[in-house]
Amino acid sequence: MQCRVGCGACCIAPSISSAIPGMPNGKPAGQRCVQLNAQNQCLLFGLPERPAVCSAFNADEQVCGKTDSEALQLLTWLEQVTTVSAATSK
């Protein structure tokens, strides 16, 4: 699956613990990345400054669904369940 241009769900829903230009402490889940422009496109796409976790993300219908809003819902849900799982396994 190719990313849907202008979706941006992967730049909003998940938390990112690594530094991002303009967000030195990363970003919390649900917060829009400062590198996401008004058209929901990553300003760091293809650049070495882009965090490794972002570069490693691959669009897939299981996590991106069929629409931008479905992607945001699915990725938000995944963030929540993995956060809960990580917290309970400690």
Write out the residue range of the structural domain in which residue 52 sits: 9-88
| Average pLDDT over every residue of 60-72 | 96
Residue 63 belongs to some domain of the structure: yes
Q: What is the pLDDT of residue 83?
A: 85
Residue 1 belongs to some domain of the structure: no
Residue 4 belongs to some domain of the structure: no
pLDDT over threshold 90, residue 48: yes
Q: Do 20 and 12 meet the contact criterion of CB atoms below 8 Å apart?
A: no
Question: In this predicted model, what pLDDT tens digit does every residue of 13-26 receive, in sequence order?
Answer: 999 999 999 999 99
Q: Centre a 10 Å sphere on the Cβ of residue 23 and count the other Cβ atoms it contains.
A: 16
Structural domains of the chain, count: 1
List the structure tokens of 10.
């992967």
Residue 2 belongs to some domain of the structure: no
- What residue type is assigned to position 27 of the chain? K
Residue 18 belongs to some domain of the structure: yes
Question: In this predicted model, what pLDDT tens digit does every residue of 68-81 receive, in sequence order?
Answer: 999 999 999 999 99
